[in-house]
Amino acid sequence: MTVFKAFPEAVTPTQALRSMLEAMLSKHLVDAVLVPARSPYGKLPMPMLITDPAGLADIDPLAPVAPFNSARQTATVTRHASGRRLGLFLRPCEISAWRELIKLHQCVHEDTLLISMDCQGRMENDTYLKLAEAQDDPTTAFYRDVYLRDETTVSCRMCERFQPQGADLTLCLLGTASELPVLAVETDAGKRLADDLGLVDCDPPAERASAVSDLRKERQAFRAARFSAITEKIKNMEGFQQLIATCLNCYNCRTACPVCYCRECVFLTDVFAHPPETLLQRASKKGSIKLPADTTMFHMTRLAHMAHACVGCGQCSSVCPSHIPVAEIFQAVAADVQKLFDYQPGRRLDEPIPYLAYGKENP
C-alpha cells in the first residue's frame, strides 16, 4: 500500500532529494549512495558513488539526460552482497534492466534501497548540452516547460513504463507543484527509511493520477505511430536490410545495451573470426560481399537474445553513429515477444525468464 510523505520545507525536487540523501548518509542509514552528479570537469551528469555527504553538492539526478543506462554500473557495485548498504537512484528503465541482471545472476539486490522518480524522459546528450548552454539550471527548466518533453528521445516518448517498478521510494514529479515534491513510499524498507528520516505523511497529490494517465495516452499514441512506421519497414528481410545498411559493426548498440550481459560477446569470439578462405569462398559464391561481414547476423542474433529483456531505454539508438533506429526495431519486436510470453523485464524478481520456463507443457 503506497503512502505519501511530504518534505519538511518547500524546495525544488533536487534539493529535497539532496537533503534526504544527506540525512541517509549522516544518519548512517546507508553506507553509500549511487546517484547521477555533475563532475567538476563536465556538464553531463554521471553516476557517482558517494560516501561523504559533502559529495552530494553536485548531484543532479533529475537532469533530463542519461549518457548511458546505469544498470550495468549499478551491477558492478552490487555484483555480490558487500555487507554495505547502498542507496541507489535509478530511472525506471534502469531499475528494470538492473532487476533483469539480478535474475541473470549478474548482481544481487540485498542491502540496497531503491529511489526513483516519475520519469519524464531524457534528451540526447547534445540536445541536453545545448539546453545547459542556454540555461543555468537546465533541470528545473525542463520540468517547468512541458514542451521540452518533446525534445526527449524517441524511445522516451514511446515509453509507457515511466513509473518505476520495484522502487522503495518514488519522487512524484507528475501532477505535483515543482516546489512541493512528494515522496511515494512503496515498500516496507521504504517506510522504515521514511520513518527514520522523520518524514511526515501527506495526502496523495491530487492531480497525479490524471497527469499520469494523460502522459500515458500521449506516449501510447506516439508509440503506436512509430511502431506502425517501423513495422512496415521490417516486415520483410529487404526492408530490414535497408534499415541496417549503414551499420558499421561498431557494436556500440551492444555495448550500450544494459541487458546485453555477456562477459564477451559471441561476435568477438572465434565463431566469427573468419579465416580468409571463408571470406573468399563467400565472395566467390556471390561475386562480392560487403565487409565487415555478418552485419545482419549480428542484429538478428541480438534481437533473438535480447528482445524478451528489452527495457526500451533507447541507448542503442543514442549511440549509433549511423543513426539507425535500433531502439525502435528492438522495441517493436520486443513488444510482440514480451506480449507472447506475458513477460515484462524487471517486473518481478521471481518471474522466470521465458526461455528458461519453456517446456513441453509450456511451449
**Cis amide prior to 292 (ω within 30 degrees):** yes
- Give the nearest distance from C-beta 353 to other proteins in angstroms: 7
d(Cα 142, Cα 315) in Å, to the nearest integer?
20
Q: How many residues bind other proteins (CB under 8 A)?
A: 21
DSSP annotation string for 144-164: H-GGGGGGB-HHHHH-S--S-
- Give the nearest distance from C-beta 34 to other proteins in angstroms: 22
Contact pick of 266, 280, 291, 349 for other proteins (by CB under 8 A): 266
Q: Please, which residue, 143 or 267, has the CB nearer to other proteins?
A: 267
What lies within 8 Å, CB to CB, of 123 at 6+ separation is: 64, 65, 131, 151, 152, 153
Percent of residues in the chain assigned helix, strand, coil, to nearest 5: 45, 10, 40
Q: How many CA atoms lie within 13 A of 67 on its CB side?
A: 14
- Give the nearest distance from C-beta 88 to other proteins in angstroms: 21
Residue ranges of E strands in the chain: 3-6, 32-38, 45-50, 86-89, 112-117, 169-172, 182-185, 200-202
261 binds other proteins (CB under 8 A): yes
356 binds other proteins (CB under 8 A): yes
Which among 351, 242, 354 has a CA at the least distance from the CA of 304?
354
Residue 95: phi, psi to the nearest 5?
A: -60, -45
The interface mask with other proteins, positions 126-165, x = CB under 8 A, is ----------------------------------------
Q: Please, which residue, 28 or 263, has the CB nearer to other proteins?
A: 263
278 binds other proteins (CB under 8 A): yes
- Give the nearest distance from C-beta 140 to other proteins in angstroms: 41
Q: Grid cell 534492466 — which residue?
A: 97
Contact pick of 305, 314, 316, 333 for other proteins (by CB under 8 A): 305
241 binds other proteins (CB under 8 A): no
The rounded radius of gyration (Å) of the Cα atoms in the chain is 22
Residue 51: phi, psi to the nearest 5?
A: -115, -25
- Give the nearest distance from C-beta 270 to other proteins in angstroms: 6
363 binds other proteins (CB under 8 A): no
d(Cα 124, Cα 320) in Å, to the nearest integer?
12
Q: Which stretch binds other proteins (CB under 8 A): 126-134, 185-193, 239-247, 354-362?
A: 354-362
157: left (phi over 0), alpha (psi -120 to 50) or beta: alpha
Q: Please, which residue, 288 or 323, has the CB nearer to other proteins?
A: 288
350 binds other proteins (CB under 8 A): no
200 binds other proteins (CB under 8 A): no
Q: Please, which residue, 210 or 281, has the CB nearer to other proteins?
A: 281
249: left (phi over 0), alpha (psi -120 to 50) or beta: left
Contact pick of 52, 54, 271, 362 for other proteins (by CB under 8 A): 271
300 binds other proteins (CB under 8 A): no
- Give the nearest distance from C-beta 122 to other proteins in angstroms: 27
Q: Which long-range contacts (CB under 8 A, 24 or more apart) does 356-362 make?
A: none
Q: Please, which residue, 4 or 330, has the CB nearer to other proteins?
A: 330
What lies within 8 Å, CB to CB, of 350 at 6+ separation is: none
105 binds other proteins (CB under 8 A): yes
Q: Could you list the residues that contact other proteins (CB under 8 A)?
A: 104-106, 261-266, 269-271, 278, 281-282, 285, 305, 353, 355-356, 360
